[in-house]
Structure 1
Amino acid sequence: MKLSEKILLGRWFPFLLLLIMICTWAIQLPQVGFYLDDWVSLSGYDQGGYQALLDYSINDSRPVIMAWVLSMDFKIAGTSKIAWQIYSLFWRFLAGVISWALIRRLWLECKEIAAISAILFSIFPFFKHQALSITYNQIWMQYPVILGSFLLTAAAIQTQNMRKRIPLFLISAVLSAFQLLVTEYYLTLELLRIGIIWFALRPQKLAIKKRIQKTILYELPFLFIFFAYFFYRFFIMPKLIHDRNELEILQQTDGVLSMVVFVIQRMIQYITESVWGIWYRSINPANFDLTKKNTQAACAVGFLIAVLIFLILFRLRKKKQLFSDTIDSREIFLLGMAAAVIGFLPGIAIDKTPSSTFLYHDRFLIPSFWGISLSIAAAAATCLNGNVKKILILAALCGISTFFQIQNSATYRYAWESQQKFQWQMKWRVPDLQENTAILGDAIIASYMGGWADGGMVFEMYGKNTGHKPTPYWYFNMSGKDFWQEIREGLPLGYTTKMFETNMDSKNSVVITKPEWDRCLWLLDEADLKNPYIDPKMKELIPYQNKSRILYNSDYQMPTEIFGSDFRHDWCYYYEKAALAVDLGDYETVFRLHDEAIANGYNMLKPVEMTPFIRGAAMSGNWEQAAQWTIDASIEPHITWEYFKNLWELLFRDTVDSPARSAALEKITSVIQP
């Protein structure tokens, strides 16, 4: 057997699949982190243990088993971001391998369809949030579980050994019940087992009536599990807790006819996204910029994967009739179509559309990925003419899928970098905080974050495993209308979400603006009352700044497996450290940091970022240097004069008069006047 035959049609295929997934994800894997609900589970578990996960599960209308599963996941992956990324991708890989084994068992002569559909399935595009490794890990874990259950059912039917058949059926049933109890994503896909059983019975060459009878007989235990769960989930559980995933299909329709119209409308949307939307979004021209290195790399790797698959298939085409239009390929196509349509139903039932109109709705197409992949591979055999054409199209689709995943990973890589800028600049400026301290910020911290995610991240940054209720640290986004009444009236800052509960004295706050591409993180003070670069609303919060909440001399370190051991020392490192040194009265360090920054080629991003150095010079009595740095910073005097005027007034307030001080003021007169 030739190498190409071994790695595609033989038992070496899992190694080929692993290679393709490594090429698709491995390069960027160390540079992505945690996002959105990842922080909820991560900070909850790390700070509050299993009880926090249980509280989250109940709040999220999930069965209790989800909390247990997630706690087991944490015991395996820990809190390491790269471990979680690998762990989540492992389930996708395992699902691909099991899919390959299942199709080979049911249709032994269609090994090429089994292989190509498994590749497409494992790197399938459209879903943009693979990087949310904790949030969606349970969903990816369920895929190999339900496919494994299908495989065991088929194996049980086809074995002649009764001693093996009963255990295989029992394990298959346990896996079916288990995956249903984790989440409802694959609820309707469970019904596809009827088709699996039907095709598994084919080698027995039974009469149609007898085959139907056996199919029903084998399906009955699984139908019992299905309806038992269905009754519990939709009739008992909603009476116990609030159900955030109600069956909207029953509430938004009037009569059977309108319900049918509703389902047809949603089905058209799902099918459209499956047939066209998936591939259009994968090569969206708006995101196709060959001047970017990431796009160049995505094109190169996608092209190489496509060429690899094309060459393997091309070498095999003479030895074996690939993708033949046979009864087997047609059956796979029908099974794939059924799996895709059935996979649409959970999203339709709760009235969710898998489109870009809502950033995270594409997850409702995940249950149909397997069916779509099967349909595509089988359609090449049943609908296209010519081996070369079939090979070209399938190889191209695999290349496009790889391209999409690499491009998509880059957006999360950039988002994680934005988070890290916040995390480390905050840590450099505020080494530690007393418990029950609120961080008042001016915006969502980064892309794929917000609300509870920002708070969960800050909780994990400063938390010391003292529990999640009440939550001792939290980030409050003050860019909207929330929390302003509490601040202005001196009321407690109470915020309850997921498993978190905050109840903080609004006086126990630190006020910051998050870092941007053109500025560092700023801990605001009196000088910023005239800062032209911040939102006027943030200036209202400056009187509530309470630096006494900062523990300057704490040796507390953020968990390195999450945040890393350090971040690059650019200008913002020197700025934050200098501002910290000023608070500590360590003016010698301020001068050293400035000299190091200049020596390393760094300079201020915004004029106001020279403030700690000006302060350090002034407070140490080096007024000439303070004046010179003020002049150097005045590159936009038309908008900064008032800021520096206010800064020097504060410096004069806090220092004693001297000839040097007067001379310095005289020197900067031109930059503190309009």
Structure 2
Amino acid sequence: MTRMPLRRLIEFLHTLPFPLWLAGILLLAYGPFLPWLGFYWDDLPLLWIANTYGAEGLQRYFSTNRPIWGVFYQISMSFMGTVPWQWQLYALFWRWMAGLTLWLTLRQVWPQRSAEAAWMALGFSLYPGFGQQPISIVYSHFFIVLTAFFTSLYAMLRAVRSSSRGWGWHLPGLGLSAINLLSMEYFFLLDLLRPLLLAQILPGEYTQRWRKALRLSLPYLAVFVGVALWRAFFFPYQTYNYQPHLLQSLSLQPLAVLGQLLGRMLRDILLTGILAWFHPLARLTALPEAGPRTLLLTAGVLVVALGVFYWLVRWVWPLCGGSRLVERWAEARPLLILGGVSLLLAGWPFWLTDLPIQLGFPYDRFTLPFMLGAACLLVGLARLLPATWGTAALGIVVGLAAAFQTQNAGEYRRDWETQRAFFWQMAWRIPDLKPGTTVVVQGLPLTHYSDNSLTAPLNWIYAPENRTQQMDYLLMDLDVRRSYPALQAGIPHQPVVLDYLAATFNGTTDQVLVLFFRPPACLRVIDPALEADNLFLPPQLRRVAARLGAPAQIEAQADPPSLPAFYGREPAHGWCYYYEQADLARQRQDWETVVRLAEAAFALGDYPNDPAERLPFIEGYAHVGEWEHALTQSLEAARVAPTMQEVVCRLWQRLLRETAPSPQRDRATMTLRQEITCP
């Protein structure tokens, strides 16, 4: 009885067309964490620019950085809004479209090899060398361009196969080719694959096929050359962001540089074409360190994915063919050639500009043009194996890739929650900032953001009405901004300037607010009067705080700010909420409020994750005359580590200056000096 429903399910799955299979597998791999993902990296600047300056701001932003591509952003952002899950679905849709159009193109090249086309589309769509899919605003537009490129190839092949209506297909093919070539440089040289694909479908002997393929490619080659000339000689910003370092180096040391280039090409092709498929094994070893939800969902996706691929192989697209090696080589050779040539063409935008290709954020974005070649190479190598072994290998590799993408999305989810905590705690502690403030941090515990990314929401939160091209605020990470020596060295009276493309920031090193954020500890505004010797802080951040830190940049009496809607509801009020509010009340010198917040905080049963989080409560207790409580909290902070004793001593020196003498104060001071060493 139980076999009948299973058999019917299998028969039903057998009837599903490949586009539905592809959509289902992408949802399985990328979808489990989709409702909890947010915005990452350049998503935040793009959102802020669109919200603040509209289409004109986006045009300025892209004017020196792929202006044609920027038009797609203007269109998408005019109707997509600022809801994260909607953008995640939008990005997933375009990844599905890219995989689908690749499948259609490969079906045109090899009509009788639907199994290989399906596996290549699956490998392309789940490629584990690229892990930035959750950066939805940016990469939805990358996959729009890839979809245009694959559709252009499809139209060209259809034109050749449909001679009676050839130009009806060639015209959209040429137009979509121009869109790819004008939009960005990532997939530029992949356009040269056209003769290779045409040679696969044309009849005749080898030389005749290639001659005709080259002739049929001439209109597309003309578009390619025309765009290349425009980029090289007429587009004034072609090298605005990236310089062709390879050409400069070749002119100085041709033989040495050529040898290095060949070595790098081999390394990058091996990395992106072969080793990337083993990347999930390295990443899955980190699963025990992941949260329980990520662990459970990744394991579930792995099991389900392998099951899906088993039935996919067994009932839908079994790879079949001869068992002899010579026959398998003949069938695998076209796939291996297409994969190898694609990998060779894919790397030139990065080899010319000396950009590193790596399997990890942020440089795994450079693996995008290698995805096609890697998928073709994978299926070609599997085709060299006996049919059963090759199919099993493909199922395992692609199943692991699906599990990798789920685990990867879980890491993005945690990063989003950490970034949300950063800004919510900032809003609790800092109601407003004086314009021109540079917020300095060091070593933020965020993987998929940079200080440049976080400058956008900082301005969105604290200057929502400013629509001028003069930005009010800048966030700088000392580990990143090495090109600001005055800020790094803590030199006052020096300019701090940043061109944000859509706007510009102009400030000075006299307007610096230093923050420290290292969860699970709370966000802290560093008080230079107390923490110049706090060894819990990074040395460079401590030096900048001591020389430049100006907590007076905070407008302590202002009303609390509103965060953009995409940050969601305010988190539950735990320890960090009461600490931030108490530190703000301390700055306002509202000591009764500090004590009231202390009672609420300690009643939670929680505790500080950084001893410095006790400082505002110590100060509050002392100012209302509760010296025993101030002493207790001081000793707790000092006992965590000897390095905190100096900070506590500095605080008590300030308390002795600011409070009136009393017997309780004297007893508490004497006890403190007996317990810890103060100067």
What TM-score range do you get, normalising by the shorter chain?
0.7 to 0.9
**Contact 2:273-2:373 at 8 Å conserved across structures:** no
Equivalent of 2:241 in 237, 241, 244: 244
Query: What is the aligned counterpart of 1:618 among 617, 622, 643?
Result: 622
> CA contact under 8 A between 1:430 and 1:552: conserved in structure 2?
no
Aligned twin of 1:380? 382
Deviations 1:378-417 (A, max 9, x none): 4433x111x3212210101112212322333344334333
Inter-CA distance 263–485: structure 2 relative to 1 (3 Å threshold): closer
For residues 523-570 of structure 1, the C-alpha deviation after alignment (integer angstroms, 9 at most, x for no partner) is 425333454433455256356414254254324311021x33323543
Q: Does 1:494 align with 2:497?
A: yes
Whether contact under 8 Å (1:340, 1:371) holds in the other structure is yes
Mark the CA change 1:548 to 1:517 in structure 2 (over 3 Å): closer, same or farther. closer
Deviation at 1:586, TM superposition (A): 4.2
Instruction: Report what 2:171 is aligned to.
Output: 170
TM-score by length of 1: 0.87
**What does residue 583 of structure 2 align with?**
579
The residue matched to 1:252 in structure 2 has which SS? helix
Partner-residue secondary structure (3-state), 2:506: strand
Distance in 2 (alpha carbons) for counterparts of 1:212 and 1:534:
66
Name the residue aligned to 1:335: 338
Q: Are the aligned partners of 1:66 and 1:181 in contact in 2 as well (CA < 8 Å)?
A: yes
Please report how far the alpha carbon of residue 243 of structure 1 lies from its aligned counterpart in structure 2 after TM superposition. Answer: 3.8
Cα distance change of structure 1 residues 70 and 566 upon mapping to structure 2, 3 Å threshold: same
**Deviation at residue 134 of structure 1 after TM alignment:** 3.4
Q: Which residue of 2 aligns with 1:556?
A: 561
Letter in 1 for 2:504: E
Q: 1:36 aligns with which of 23, 36, 41?
A: 41
Specify every segment of 5 or more residues in structure 2 that has no aligned partner in the other structure, as ranges. Answer: 1-6
CA RMSD in angstroms comes to: 3.5
Q: Secondary structure at the match of 1:134?
A: helix
Per-residue deviation at 1:306?
Answer: 1.9
CA distance in 1, matches of 2:474, 2:44: 12
User: Quick check: 1:471 aligned with 2:471?
Assistant: yes
1:30-66 Cα distance to aligned partner (Å, 9 max, x none): 444344333443333333333443333244xx33212
Amino acid at match of 1:191: L
Which residue identity lines up with residue 279 of structure 1 in the other structure?
W
Aligned residue number for residue 253 of structure 1: 250
How many Å apart are 1:477 and its aligned residue?
A: 3.3
Q: Deviation string for 1:56-94 (max 9, x for gaps)?
A: 3244xx332122222223224333333333322322111
Aligned counterparts of 1:540 and 1:329: Cα–Cα separation in 2:
61
Q: Cα distance 1:67–1:274, how it changes in 2: closer, same or farther (>3 A)? A: closer
Go from structure 1 to structure 2 and tell me whether the alpha carbon gap of 1:362 and 1:608 turns closer, same or farther (over 3 Å shift).
Answer: closer
- Give the Å deviation of 1:667: 4.9
Distance 1:123 1:497 in 2: 34
Q: Which moved more, 1:394-403 or 1:289-298?
A: 289-298
Q: Distance in 1 between matches of 2:275 and 2:205?
A: 42
Q: Which residue of 1 aligns with 2:4?
A: none
In structure 1, distance between residues paired with 2:158 and 2:186: 25
Q: TM-score by structure 2 length?
A: 0.86
Q: How many residues align?
A: 660
Aligned residues of 2:513 and 2:553 also touching (Cα < 8 A) = no
> Which residue is 2:224 aligned to?
226
CA distance 1:396–1:123, shift in 2 (3 Å): same
Report 1:536-555 matches (<5 A): 538=542, 541-542=545-546, 544-547=549-552, 549-550=554-555, 552-555=557-560
Partner of 1:305: 305
Equivalents in 2 of 1:485, 1:209: separation in Å? Answer: 63
Provide closer, same or farther for how the CA distance between residues 437 and 242 of structure 1 changes in structure 2, counting only shifts above 3 A: same
How many percent of aligned residue pairs carry the same amino acid?
24
Q: Deviations over 1:646-674 (max 9, x none)?
A: 22232232233344444443454434535
Give the direction of change, closer, same or farther, for the CA distance of 1:601–1:150 in structure 2 (3 Å limit).
Answer: same
> How far does residue 588 in structure 1 lie from its aligned partner after superposition?
4.5
Q: 1:448 to 1:253 in 2, by over 3 A?
A: same
Cα displacement (A) at 1:6: 6.6
Helix, strand or coil at the partner of 2:458? helix
Say which SS state the counterpart of residue 471 (structure 2) adopts: coil
Local SS of the residue matching 2:133 = coil
Matches within 5 A, 1:38-117: 38-59=43-64, 62-117=65-120
| Closer, same or farther: CA 645–368 of 1 in aligned 2, 3 Å | closer
User: Corresponding residue for 1:640?
Assistant: 644
Distance 1:652 1:259 in 2: 67
Are the structure 2 counterparts of residues 135 and 316 from structure 1 closer, same or farther at C-alpha, using a change threshold of 3 Å?
closer
Deviates more, 1:647-656 or 1:328-337: 328-337
Alpha-carbon deviation of 1:214? 5.0
Contact 1:513 1:524 in 2 (8 A): no
Residue 452 (structure 2) pairs with residue 452 (structure 1): yes
CA displacement at 1:602 relative to structure 2 = 1.0
SS in 2 for 1:475: strand
Q: 1:288 to 1:458 in 2, by over 3 A?
A: same
Task: Return 5+ residue gaps in structure 1 as ranges.
Answer: none
Q: Distance in 1 between matches of 2:489 and 2:582?
A: 33
- TM-aligned CA distance change 1:459 to 1:596, over 3 Å: same
Decide whether the 8 Å contact of 2:594 with 2:617 is kept in 1: yes
Report the counterpart of residue 658 of structure 2 in structure 1.
654
Paired letter, 1:574: Y
Opposite residue 182 of structure 1, the aligned amino acid is S
Q: Which residues in structure 2 correspond to 1:137-216 (within 5 Å)? A: 137-159=140-162, 162=165, 165-200=166-201, 202=202, 205=203, 215-216=213-214
- Which residue is equivalent to 2:314? 314
| Closer/same/farther in 2, CA of residues 599 and 91 from structure 1, 3 Å limit | same
Which whole-Å deviations, capped at 9, do the CAs of 1:131-175 have from their partners, x for residues lacking one? 33334443222111111111122223333653xx43332222111
In structure 2, relative to structure 1, the CA distance for the partners of 1:515 and 1:376 (3 Å cut) is: closer
Query: Contact 2:284/2:404 (CA < 8 Å) preserved in 1?
Result: no
